[in-house]
Structure 1
Amino acid sequence: MLHKYKNTTTNYYICAVMEKLLSKINNPIDLRKLPKNQLPQLAKELRDFIIDIVSKKEGHLGASLGVVELTIALHYVFNTPEDILVWDVGHQAYGHKILTERRDNFHTNRELNGISGFPKRSESIYDSFGVGHSSTSISAALGMALASQLKGAMDKQHIAVIGDASIASGMAFEGLNHAGVTDANLLVILNDNAIGIDPSIGALKEYLTAVKAGKNPKQNNIIKSLNFDYSGPIDGHDLPKLILELERLKSVKGPKFLHVITTKGKGLQLAEEDQVKYHAPGKFDAETGKIHPKDESHLPPKFQDVFGHTLVELAKQNEKIIGITPAMPSGSSMKYMMEIFPQRAFDVGIAEQHAVTLAAGLATQGMIVFCNVYSTFLQRAYDQVIHDVALQNLPVIFCLDRAGLVGEDGATHHGVFDIAYLNCIPNMIIAAPKDEIELRNIMFTAAEGLHHPIAIRYPRGRGENTNWKQPFEKIEIGKIKELKKGTKVAILSTGTIGNNVTKALAQIENESLFSHYHLPFIKPLDIDYIKTIINTHNHIITIEDGAIIGGFGEQISKINASYNLKKTIINLGIPDSFIEHGTVFELQELCQIDTKSLTYLFKTFTHD
């Protein structure tokens, strides 16, 4: 950054030399040509480059800043991509992307048609495994290592980099447990910074803290007990030490484990001081780190905050109400209940399976449990939803945040499958409120006492109403709401995507031709009312912010076919493909469920 060095001719020269390092590194082959004494300067340039781009384009900042030295050391010591490097989750992989042939288009990170914010196999040969959800790296790298053994590639290296929050997940332990009884050439690197998105929790975190403080003797080592060659902990920002230890570990056979201590947000003071906020801070000043202020006082609230504040209201009224979140207290706004009722709100770590069955256990004892899980993460606990909750008909209240298209995080994070994967489960109620007020009322209705489990799905982002904190009203389960009465075309929508329908209809001249029905409940459906709607209209359109296959629209089509109603039905939603990253608006447009696309479609019916 030239403006930092304006004082002397000498400093201009130094700056020019420094900037030449990163600009000449197109791939790890170039990196390995550098003498070791230049690597600290490369680390500084790489860190500055990440800060500069992310400050303007947004993205995941803190995690990538924390592993700059580790990233350089790994690509310097190991012969990637022949040696296989697997990143867990991928929040921390920006430096990896920049050093592996994506420096010049890193500015497109998370943009539509740009590079992904996570490692992705189809994007680069250096991205050996696609990630986005946590705790997959050890199992994946072990599978690769066993395959190398079978192929006779005994000297091939396989490295999994996993964080202290992710390694506490059950799947990570399953991978460690298996790896420990193999002679696979696997190196697990624990990137220990005591934080995921929120601070790490649990007994393992306390154990790791004790290890870092030298309070646990080496013989009392969990990892060594699993037959790993354990080394560390070492300073993850000390490049010479990292390189020396990685060089040593290359010659160690079998499963080995390196414990590395890093600081999330390293190199940007404010990011080091507030690691939660700077996980993904939005736009900020690259020099100071100050986040650009936003005046959001006039805007409707985020759905997650409506959930969080409403849960506190309900918990004040009923001491049996419990809150559970798997490692997302800030993202889900469960933090509000955790602050006020710490004995009744639990962050269980990255452990969705445990979260669901814990909720089931609490429900057997008469507790009213709100289990708050991102839609895409509940996929990781599908058996528990069926076996431990629905099969026993336990009234657990699943609050599915980030349902629908989530935007820049892309295919790994879109919550577009929950309707399809929950719809087939007996006893399950599925609700999709249209706005914040309805979300509050469905939560209130669920807390008043249901005899079945319920999933309430709501999107990422803001709602429609600033005056949302209205008195609670009980909602009739399964009731359909007629928002607009017309004569020719019936539009059936569920959830917040119905607001796009309302806006589109407002732009139609022959608006009286259209009826609009909102279904707050996808299951159960009022079949008799739906039959009446179909019978009294010439055309039927269904719209949802979820997968068409197995979704809400298909249920309407099934009713049409089952009762031989013989109407043509158009189902709109997410097509049978994985939707990539971009803004929510861009992705809705791609799926033709944005306001403009709907307006165009509706206008075609006015010409018949």
Structure 2
Amino acid sequence: MTRQAAGLLASVTGPEAVRALASELLPRLAEEIRAVLVERVCAAGGHLGPNLGVVELTLALHRVFGSPQDVLVFDTGHQAYVHKLLTGRQKDFAQLRQAGGLSGYPSRSESVHDVVENSHASTALSYADGLAKAHELAGAQDRAVVAVIGDGGLTGGMAWEALNNLGAAPERPVIVVINDNGRSYAPTTGALATHLRVLRGGAQARRNLFTVLGFAYVGPVNGHNTSETEGALRRARAMRRPVVVHVVTVKGKGYGPAERDGVDCLHAVSALEPTTGQPAASADFPALSWTSVFGRALADLASQREDIVAVTAAMLNPTGLHVMAKRFPERVFDVGIAEQHAVTSAAGLAMGGFHPVVALYATFLNRAVDQVLMDVALHRLAVTFVLDRAGITGPDGASHHGMWDLALLATVPGLRIAAPRDAALLRELLAEAVATDEGPTMLRIPKAQAGGELAAVARMDGLDILHRSLRRPPDVLIVAVGPLAAPALEAAARLEERGLGVTVVDPRWVLPVNQALPALATRHRLTVTIEDGIRAGGVGTALVQSCQDTVPVPRVLVLGLPRAFLPHGSRQSLAAQAGLDAPGIARATLSALAKQPGASFSAHHANPLHAGGNTT
């Protein structure tokens, strides 16, 4: 028995092995799982706190339900590491969130046990509703549908739309497991959080919000007692009706540094020293990230103007708003995981005479495009959006790359979009944005170190000229969007070594297109636009359209990300694969010039761009 207990996790090759274990061995297995999580996530980074908190819950789920026959859907998905370990992916876990390795979220391509690969919150209940309907139509009465959602995920409006439907169908059994740890990134806010606190006090016999909506209610359950949680889940399954199982857990459970962390319980981390939970000596923790520059700059502006307010959706610290919140707590509003509400609430603030700054991850603003369009822009309201993690984000993968915003929002009338290239320009553009009162503005910043200043040699009609070859004819104009200014300058140097005259320009405000750009493009043989958004519909496309009315029509090469879901990997490597590093930009430029009539230089180094590029 001792030898078996010492290697329990190694013996778990799938859910069947979890179900076969004697119950007295489960606490030891939970310890082993936590040890693996701490060791591997501290080494490589990832979501630590959420997974430490669901170890016993995940064990109970796999003991009661037979995945994949029974369907388990994890909301948000960042708490699915334990699920991966229990479903045959232990050997691959060392490569978690690394290029070619396991995704940090459920992934259909990895396992039949991953039904969806969601990593945006509040979606699991809608998936469950559809799956239960499909099972009913197919006559599959023996398949359970279980949705695991955190109390933070329940702050999203989509979750309540699903609850409204699930509770109204008593004949359709869906088990909603609420993982209640009182937090999303930070402590959960709003009336629901208050209601859950009341239920945690032992109000299971009373009528509550969920019973009013048509659910049976089981709980509160100690989510760190596998036997108790398992029993609650078995009772829920036997009811064969919509049931809410209220499971109370501790985020970061079993790892002292996470439990003691007062910010986010080590929610998402880079490399850490496992004994202390502090940043590893070798870890790249930028002293001046784009996020921190924004947070400080906004707080400074707020100290000068009392009409500046801030809004976020459960991302106070990740977007840098905690700096302003500490100084002006009454002027910072965290609305929970509710991006649509955040945007329209900001519209109301603007109507009331304030200038809201809405700080979200770029990927999450996708969920509120209609609100930007119809609730803010239609009313020409002065709302500033700051999109963190814009462009390639890295190891979080397809759902977190902030690569859609430029194409989605380029069509919004009256919206002006800026992309700072360095910290100094971020502060400058933010000040310009909040000084705008005739319509909405947007700034996009990457997940990266802000780096050094890239000074302009001149400013012309609002355009920053970063480089120009004074002694050579103007062959190539490179239009760099935001932080791509650095590789653009390096590419310019490479092209000049080939005898080409190169101008590098930063538009600062990238959309709508500054009308000085088409005129500048006509003075060059080729204009190359580079952006870390999708090529289709972005800045380059907009410039091409602006050039259609220019005579002669300039040749424009549009470089950007492909219209595809990019995998997880480092920001640097994914940019290189898309041809957005200096060598890729130079190769694509030489290739395009070589195709022009009368080309007189060798372009034998020009290779096809991995992501593709088109010249018009």
The one of 96, 103, 106 equivalent to 1:116 is 103
> Secondary structure at the residue paired with 1:533?
helix
Q: Which residue of 1 aligns with 2:468?
A: 485
Moved more, 406-415 or 550-559: 550-559
Q: Which residue of 2 aligns with 1:212?
A: 200
Contact 1:63/1:92 (8 A) holds in 2? yes
> CA shift at 1:504, angstroms?
2.8
Q: Note if 1:169 corresponds to 2:164.
A: no
> Secondary structure at the residue paired with 1:343?
helix
Q: Which residue of 2 aligns with 1:513?
A: 501
Q: Note if 1:201 corresponds to 2:189.
A: yes
Q: Which residue of 1 aligns with 2:178?
A: 190
CA distance in 2, matches of 1:152, 1:283: 48
- Give the letter for the 2:464 counterpart: K
Contact 1:326/1:351 (8 A) holds in 2? yes
CA distance in 2, matches of 1:255, 1:307: 45
Q: Which residue of 1 aligns with 2:44?
A: 57
- Give the letter for the 1:365 counterpart: G
The one of 226, 233, 250 equivalent to 1:263 is 250
Moved more, 563-572 or 158-167: 563-572
- Give the letter for the 1:361 counterpart: G
Q: Note if 1:343 corresponds to 2:330.
A: yes
> Secondary structure at the residue paired with 1:131?
coil
Q: Note if 1:404 corresponds to 2:391.
A: yes
Q: Note if 1:284 corresponds to 2:264.
A: no
For residues 289-300 of structure 1, the aligned pairs below 5 Å read 289-293=277-281
- Give the letter for the 2:191 counterpart: A
- Give the letter for the 1:104 counterpart: K
CA distance in 1, matches of 2:198, 2:232: 22
- Give the letter for the 1:34 counterpart: L
> Secondary structure at the residue paired with 2:147?
strand
CA distance in 1, matches of 2:506, 2:147: 47
Contact 2:419/2:444 (8 A) holds in 1? yes
> CA shift at 1:596, angstroms?
3.2
Moved more, 244-253 or 80-89: 244-253
> CA shift at 1:562, angstroms?
4.1
Q: Note if 1:462 corresponds to 2:449.
A: yes
CA distance in 1, matches of 2:581, 2:529: 14
> Secondary structure at the residue paired with 2:179?
strand
Q: Note if 1:20 corresponds to 2:10.
A: no
CA distance in 2, matches of 1:19, 1:573: 51
Q: Which residue of 2 aligns with 1:105?
A: 92
The one of 37, 54, 62 equivalent to 1:75 is 62
> CA shift at 1:20, angstroms?
2.4
> CA shift at 1:589, angstroms?
1.0
Change (3 A) 1:551 1:328: same
- Give the letter for the 1:116 counterpart: S
For residues 418-437 of structure 1, the aligned pairs below 5 Å read 418-437=405-424
Q: Which residue of 2 aligns with 1:393?
A: 380
> CA shift at 1:603, angstroms?
5.8
CA distance in 2, matches of 1:291, 1:437: 27
Q: Which residue of 1 aligns with 2:20?
A: 33
> CA shift at 1:286, angstroms?
3.2
Q: Which residue of 1 aligns with 2:216?
A: 229
CA distance in 1, matches of 2:431, 2:553: 39
CA distance in 2, matches of 1:230, 1:515: 66
* Cα deviation 1:369-402 (Å, max 9, x = unaligned): 1111111111111111111100111111111111
The one of 580, 600, 607 equivalent to 2:602 is 607
> CA shift at 1:218, angstroms?
3.5
Contact 2:507/2:514 (8 A) holds in 1? no
CA distance in 2, matches of 1:596, 1:73: 52
Contact 2:204/2:220 (8 A) holds in 1? no
CA distance in 2, matches of 1:461, 1:534: 30
Contact 2:151/2:193 (8 A) holds in 1? yes
CA distance in 2, matches of 1:408, 1:83: 30
The one of 112, 130, 140 equivalent to 2:127 is 140
Q: Which residue of 2 aligns with 1:10?
A: none
Contact 2:177/2:246 (8 A) holds in 1? yes
> CA shift at 1:549, angstroms?
0.6
Q: Note if 1:526 corresponds to 2:514.
A: yes
Q: Which residue of 1 aligns with 2:597?
A: none
* Cα deviation 1:550-584 (Å, max 9, x = unaligned): 01111122233344634432211101111110110
CA distance in 2, matches of 1:265, 1:495: 37
Contact 2:422/2:453 (8 A) holds in 1? no
* Cα deviation 1:495-524 (Å, max 9, x = unaligned): 111111113323442475111111111222
> CA shift at 1:76, angstroms?
1.1
* Cα deviation 1:518-549 (Å, max 9, x = unaligned): 1111222222x223222211112110010101
> CA shift at 1:432, angstroms?
1.0
- Give the letter for the 1:282 counterpart: S
Q: Which residue of 2 aligns with 1:7?
A: none
Q: Which residue of 2 aligns with 1:48?
A: 35
CA distance in 2, matches of 1:112, 1:394: 42
CA distance in 2, matches of 1:153, 1:81: 13
> Secondary structure at the residue paired with 2:436?
coil
Change (3 A) 1:498 1:290: closer
The one of 81, 87, 106 equivalent to 1:94 is 81
For residues 322-361 of structure 1, the aligned pairs below 5 Å read 322-361=309-348
Moved more, 598-607 or 509-518: 598-607
- Give the letter for the 1:139 counterpart: S
Count of aligned pairs: 585
Q: Which residue of 2 aligns with 1:5?
A: none
> CA shift at 1:177, angstroms?
0.8
Change (3 A) 1:277 1:435: farther
The one of 572, 575, 595 equivalent to 2:582 is 595
Contact 1:64/1:265 (8 A) holds in 2? yes
The one of 415, 419, 431 equivalent to 2:402 is 415
Percent identical across equivalent pairs? Answer: 37
Change (3 A) 1:152 1:564: farther
Q: Which residue of 1 aligns with 2:484?
A: 497
* Cα deviation 1:94-153 (Å, max 9, x = unaligned): 000111121100111111111110012222110011111100001101110111011111
CA distance in 1, matches of 2:493, 2:526: 19
> Secondary structure at the residue paired with 1:394?
coil
Q: Which residue of 2 aligns with 1:580?
A: 567
> CA shift at 1:607, angstroms?
3.1
Change (3 A) 1:240 1:33: same
Contact 1:485/1:512 (8 A) holds in 2? no
The one of 413, 417, 439 equivalent to 1:452 is 439
RMSD in angstroms over aligned alpha carbons? 2.1
CA distance in 2, matches of 1:566, 1:389: 35
Q: Which residue of 1 aligns with 2:609?
A: none
> Secondary structure at the residue paired with 1:101?
coil
**TM-score by structure 1 length?**
0.92
> Secondary structure at the residue paired with 1:407?
coil
Q: Note if 1:537 corresponds to 2:524.
A: yes
Contact 1:164/1:193 (8 A) holds in 2? yes
**TM-score by structure 2 length?**
0.91
Contact 1:300/1:463 (8 A) holds in 2? no
CA distance in 1, matches of 2:314, 2:327: 18
> CA shift at 1:80, angstroms?
0.6
Contact 2:423/2:453 (8 A) holds in 1? no
